[in-house]
């Protein structure tokens, strides 16, 4: 049984959301379908559909927020990979039992109508992993 259903989206940290929107619209040949602020993470997100998966651009509204810090430390680039799961609570329990380091032990409200929780990159070979589940 596969507990991970698919890669739901790839998150990319950008400095200037308007400039990145223009660039990714050119790159992908499709306009962003949604722009949404997530106040708790101090980000504005922008979403593009690329077939079954999405690209999420993330721009910080606060230099001290997670994306602001990420860009200061590592520059723009791939920030996280998000996997869609059917039962995020069960997956968090399973992964914690497997020894993964959870950033969130409980799902929180993310962008694009999703419950989200992150796994620390220290326990995933340097990749920040997001689990997400569609809110009903």
Give CA–CA dist 55/45, Å, rounded.
Answer: 10
Q: Which is nearer to Zn ion, 1 or 37 (CB)?
A: 37
Phi/psi class of residue 118: alpha, beta or left (left: φ > 0; alpha: ψ in -120 to 50)?
A: beta
Give CA–CA dist 15/60, Å, rounded.
Answer: 7
Which of 11, 32, 65, 66 is the binder for Zn ion (CB under 5 A)? 11
With beta carbons less than 8 A apart as the criterion, state whether 26 and 98 touch.
no
Which of 43, 82, 88, 129 is the binder for Zn ion (CB under 5 A)? 82
- Annotate each residue in 20-59 with x if it binds Zn ion (CB under 5 A) or - if it does not, as one string: ------------------------------------x---
Shortest distance (Å) from residue 10 CB to Zn ion: 8
The secondary structure element, H or E, covering residue 68 is helix 66-74
Shortest distance (Å) from residue 46 CB to Zn ion: 12
Residues that bind Zn ion (CB under 5 A): 11, 56, 82, 130
């Amino acid at each position: 049984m596969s507990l991970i259903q698919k890669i739901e989206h790839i998150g990319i940290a950008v400095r200037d959301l308007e400039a990145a929107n223009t660039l990714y619209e050119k790159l992908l040949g499709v306009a962003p379908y949604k722009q949404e602020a997530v106040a708790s993470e101090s980000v504005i997100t922008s979403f593009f559909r690329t077939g079954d998966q999405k690209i999420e651009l993330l721009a910080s509204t606060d230099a001290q927020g997670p994306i602001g810090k990420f860009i200061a430390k590592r520059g723009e680039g791939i920030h996280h990979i998000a996997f869609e799961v059917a039962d995020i609570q069960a997956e968090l329990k399973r992964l914690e039992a497997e020894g993964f380091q959870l950033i969130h032990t409980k799902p929180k409200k993310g962008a694009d109508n999703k419950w989200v929780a992150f796994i620390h990159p220290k326990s995933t070979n340097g990749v920040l992993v997001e689990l997400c589940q569609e809110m009903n």
